[in-house]
Structure 1
Amino acid sequence: MTVLITGGAGYIGSHIVRAFRLAGLDCIIVDDFSSGHREFVPDDCVVIDSSILDTKILAKAMVEHEVEAVVHLAGFKYAGVSVQRPLHTYEQNVQGTVSLLQAMHEADVDKIVFSSSAAVYGTPDVDIVTEATATAPESPYGETKLIGEWLMRDAARAHPLHHTSLRYFNVVGSATPELYDSSPHNLFPLVIEALLEDRTPRIYGDDYPTADGTCVRDYIHVADLADAHVVAAQKLLAGTELHPVYNLGSGDGVSVRQIMTAVADATGIAFEPEIAARREGDPARIVASGELAARDLNWAMRHTVADMVTSAWQARNLDR
């Protein structure tokens, strides 16, 4: 059986492709390489170089390669930038998902795992986020992810569509040094690049109502995330009906200060982070329960914070 993975050349997508292949599942990739990396794609993997906005190309690829399920990651993923580029974000994330669902319908493909986001929750007023926590996205990016979930729900009312959405938080680390996070907006690459360029990493605010005064977040290893996508797809392919949404969370949290300490330990580079003013809109704490995903998707935090930092550091050093 073959699975189509949109955005399979990106940091997360390439790890998911790797996990599917390790599980013995064939996959093809659709990616326009606007942010993905060609070197992340295995040489023997079929690649459709296209935007997901091209419905005809998607439907043709699904039919020609006898696709039975889709894992949908492609989209514009920068929440902060989406505020400045709302129309682009809606085009890529909403129109793109409509195009993909239309192509699936035309090709008689009725199973999809959607890579959603914790951004759908906005700034929650609870200590631990669950799937029942109210959604209140605060950026066009978060809004488009929530709309993507709605699109699948509504499409499933009109014709057979078996689907689930995986909401996750801060994805870090590397399963293999050849695949790394190159985002200019994520904490790990920002800290690592600062050290590689002999700059001091920065913490935005140390006066939050947390144990050490810095923001607490849910960090999950990209390999654990990738495995959850594989299990979700396998369950759908086996005919198991899944919950519409799952949080992939730790049930605990790590502060930005703790991350900085872990980076210093892993790299052997002693530094005292620079303290800058708070950034507007940064909540003190966002942590999710992964209990539902543990029950249905064998979700678990199999990597420690030290694993996350060490693997991220090794990957970026290899790249350089």
Structure 2
Amino acid sequence: MLPLTRYPYRGEVCTCPVCRSADATPVSGLDRRLKRLKTMACRGCGLFYTNPMPTSAELERYYRDYYRFDYQWSVSGPNERRRRKRRKEADTRSAHVLGLLPAGARTLDFGAGSGEFVSAMLDAGFDAHGFEPGEDYGGYARGLHGDRISIATWQKMEYSEPFDMISAFHVLEHLADPVAAIRKAAGWLKPDGLFYIEVPDMVASYTRKAFGAFHFAHLVGFNHYNLCLAAAEAGLHPVKVIAGTGVIFSKAPHDTDREALGALGSAETRRMLDLVSPGRTFLQHSFFRFGKRLRTVVSRPLAAR
């Protein structure tokens, strides 16, 4: 938690996790904790990504030992306040797929957290399932839904019966190889299946927070175009845009101009970088966020977090 120190990892120098270009611009050497973290912007598609990228072993250690406290100041499973917030989000998201799926459709939530979207889809009459790598949150979801929830990483999951839809909400930004994850999950879909992806809006986040938008848990940062490019690399194309970085994709065959998506993504990121002065956002974001977190810690007992 000490500012201006490095995170305890070595990592590996990498190319862009989406378009694989090695041509990138350094964006920041700090993250929102004021810790030293190097973030690059790909000139090929505009993706933000951590470089050096943590290794699989380093990420496993971080998520096992530090993530919930570092990211959410939590030392146990989900609290009631967070569950209510997530259920409200899940109800909104489930409403977006009504009319797109057949009755009783089989669905899978990739990174199900504490199971709120699975609950919402079950309530809507769908055959909903999910998996979550975290023991605390996955265990809570499994307590609600039994064998419908698996506790494992995406690399270890396999399904023999295909799904009508897979969802992944605020998951891909945590993955060192999001394209590989999308590609594997797309293999679990029916030929005309849907993939509902939502990631943080890096355009809005960076223009408001500058380096405060970066932190160790988010390895990559998308805009609309490079998100669509990542999906295209896995054979998907957009059929419904919920928001810029919330898109429902289809597995049905479709020609996608990947070069154009890369160029649009790169242009969007360049425009965003030109708008922002990191120094100007330092006080308005970093100290405001620290004060907000401090108030949260002081106002709630440790057991409730």
| Structure 1 length-normalised TM | 0.37
